[in-house]
Amino acid sequence: MPRHMLLPLLLGVLAAPQMARAERTSVLDFGAKGDGIADDTAAIQRALNAAKGADGTAEGRTVFSLHFPSKPGGFYKITDSLLIDGTHGLVLYGDGALTRRNWYDENATIRWYGKESKPIFWVKGGTGHTEVAAGGERTRPSNPNVCLTIRDLTIQGYPDRLKEGALPPNLALSGIHFGPLEGQHDPTLVRRANIENVHISQCRFGIWSGNPDGENTDHATVLITGCFISGNAQAGIRWGTANAIANVISCDIGNNGWAGDAFPADAYSPPIGANINLDSGYMDIVSYTSAGRPTRADIYQQSGRISILNAWSDCFGYFLYQASASQNEGGYHNGQITGVRHYCGGMTEADTPSSMRIVCPGMVVSGCLVYGNIEVMSGLGGRPVFEGINFIRPNATYIGSGVDTQRSLTVLGNATNSGQILLGGANQGVPLKHRGSAVPQILSMGDNPALFQVLGASAESTGLAFHTRTDDANGGNVLLMNGYFTATGVRPLQADKMVWWLEVGGSQGLRIRGFDPAGSTDEIPPGAFQDFGGIKSAPLSGHRGEVTFQPPVRSGPPSFSSGDFWLGSVYFDTTTRKLRVNTGGSKWEDLN
């Protein structure tokens, strides 16, 4: 070929559509403009289809990495959902999220101009192509997206800033949407997706996962890292349904959920406003920062399992609200909450009465600094454990049925609160009976508690309770065995065991009293306890070393007689006004 013909031929090859079918390419090569004027939806969808390949099989697939270049003064105008369906190893990337100081006037922004409320990026993962099997053809319902990456992009769900009040009906449903839309009845599948350094704002939901028709959705695992998700009306992240697993790491998710109540309950969410709303599935949140005034909570757990490790929350109202937690064959999926700081200057008891609501038995909450109360709503089947919780508001403490009624609270090493260890639980006001190992019985805390109680698993073992009392000016303490204090008396823990009341200190020195419940769990008035004697000390400070033995007081000798069981025993006979000693068998002699 003559040399003068070679250059035009090469230029023609480079200009041909084949360039658009390179493994690493740009949406511009498929016809997108990014100028904020042209509708780029069809061009970008052509690129995503090329990344999928023929019929979801990757045959003819040529796009592996798709670039959204920054266009100064422009953006990518989108009027319909961008469908990502059955891709393997696809990378969507821009030149960085928030590439301009003014976050709204962005380069390389993907901005929604659709006439309906639909997703912007729609990760569906269902091809619906047919394949031949024994017995004829069958439809393959889902072809997963595997190892999908979306990074360094800015996604906006409305052309203008959202404001409080009436929301536009064409607000984007979600910035990134995992799963089908309502009425499609498609079980979707995602195997590993990474969302990294993406800014999502001005949508109803920043990121949504689930199946609005209640069918199986398997999104495992989606890693959301280093993202800035803000200004979304109902939730920054709403996650759930079936085997949905999300790891949220080092993200700033704030000022979302401020219009949660503006959306009536529908297939996508009940009217819950939150920065993060876990509907079901699993979520781990690590190194999390947040702010704002969501209508329900910073993090709202409808169900599922959640763990939070290190969080800085400037949100007013609840930091974590557990409405429920999921179970698997009767066992709760519990998690841990560690290293949370929930406080913002200007918080008041009126706007932030509580910082957490915990309902899941077995939760461990540790090393947290919180402004409001912690509501413990766990049941008798288990109780949460709180370690190292510091309350900023002076009157903040533990409240809720798990404290006041079910008494299922375990607290270790708190500032501004007394330490308490309660194992097991029992309903207040309900007579306690033998329950064996199924429900350990443990109880009451009192006004100024330092309580330790133990009860063996078997019905034959004896309950033990150490309960300090400070109503004695001389600092007397009460050790109660096989019983617990109520407002008006003492309730036996076990109906066939003696209830012992040991008083130590104060004017008594050491006093032993007892009561035989005789098979009843009825409340025992304090005056019904029999005095078994003890050591009595002088009541005044400086004279308490002056002690004397005070024998038990009776109107006659004990009726029980068996050998020399009472030998050497002494009691004061109130009938004869004499001190009597046993000299063997049933023989009692006066000592005076």
306 pLDDT band, cuts 50/70/90, is very high
pLDDT at 516 over 50: yes
Residue 124: pLDDT band (50, 70, 90) is confident
Residue 245 belongs to domain spanning: 23-315
Distance CA 192, CA 197 (A): 17
* Statement to judge: residues 294 and 435 lie in one domain: no
pLDDT at res. 537: 80
**Candidate ranges 297-301, 428-432, 457-461; pick with highest mean pLDDT:** 297-301
d(CA 115, CA 422): 58
In terms of domains, do 481 and 581 share one? no
More confident of the two residues 539 and 167: 167
Residue 14 covered by a domain: no
* Domain end point (choices 257, 292, 315): 315
* pLDDT bucket at 136, cuts 50 / 70 / 90: low
- pLDDT band of residue 450 (cuts 50, 70, 90) is very low
Identify whether residues 97 and 205 lie together within a single domain. Answer: yes
**Segment 439-446 mean pLDDT:** 34
pLDDT beyond 90 at 456:
no
Query: Is residue 78 in some structural domain?
Result: yes
**pLDDT given at position 271:** 95
Average pLDDT over residues 47-51: 90
471 and 569 share one domain: no
Domain stop point among 315, 330, 349: 315
Residues 530 and 561 in one domain: no
Residue 435's pLDDT is 30
Same domain, 37 and 172: yes
Distance CA 310, CA 322 (A): 18
558 inside domain:
yes
Tokens 């560690």 sit on residue: 338
Look at residue 429 in the predicted model and tell me its pLDDT. 36
The predicted pLDDT at position 457 comes to 38
pLDDT at 132 over 90: no
Instruction: Kindly report the CATH number assigned to the domain that includes residue 191.
Output: 2.160.20.10
Is 122 domain-assigned? Answer: yes
Q: Is residue 344 part of a domain?
A: no
Which of 315, 336, 357 is at the close of a domain? 315
Compute the average pLDDT of residues 97-119: 82
Is 126 contained in some domain? yes
Is there a contact between 173 and 164 (Cβ–Cβ < 8 Å)? no
Whole-angstrom distance, CA of residue 154 vs CA of residue 111 = 8
Which residue pairs from 412-417 have beta carbons closer than 8 angstroms and sit at least 24 positions apart in sequence?
Answer: 412/385, 412/386, 412/387, 412/388, 413/387, 413/388, 414/386, 414/388, 414/389, 414/390, 415/389, 415/390, 415/391, 416/390, 416/391, 417/389, 417/391
For residues 246 and 287, state if they share a domain: yes
Lowest-pLDDT range of 40-49, 161-170, 521-530: 161-170
Chain segment 368-423, per-residue pLDDT in tens: 999 999 998 865 455 688 888 888 998 888 888 777 666 566 666 555 444 444 44
The structural domain count of the chain equals 3
Whether residue 452 is contained in a domain is answered as: yes
Residue 562, pLDDT > 70, answer yes
| Residues forming a β-bridge with 248 | 224, 285
Q: For residue 222, is pLDDT > 50?
A: yes
pLDDT at 234 over 80: yes
Contact 358, 329 (CB under 8 A): no
| In the chain, % of residues over pLDDT 70 | 76
Look at residue 400 in the predicted model and tell me its pLDDT: 82
Which residue from 540, 536, 520 is spatially nearest to 528, judged by alpha carbons? 520
455 has pLDDT over 50 = no
138 plus 179 within the same structural domain: yes
Average pLDDT, the chain: 80
Higher pLDDT, 73 or 9: 73
Task: Render 492-541 in DSSP notation, one character per residue.
Answer: ESSTTS-EEEEEEETTTEEEEEEE--TT----B-GGGSEEEEEEEE-SST
pLDDT tier at 539 (50, 70, 90 boundaries)? confident
User: Does one domain contain both 308 and 451?
Assistant: no
Instruction: Please tell me whether residues 453 and 580 are part of one structural domain.
Output: no
Place of tokens 């508001």: 393
Is residue 119 domain-shared with residue 162, that is, in the same domain?
A: yes
Q: What's residue 413's pLDDT?
A: 56
SS3 224: strand
Report the distance separating Cα 518 and Cα 531, nearest Å.
17
Name 321's bridge partners.
300, 357
455 and 563 co-located in one domain: no
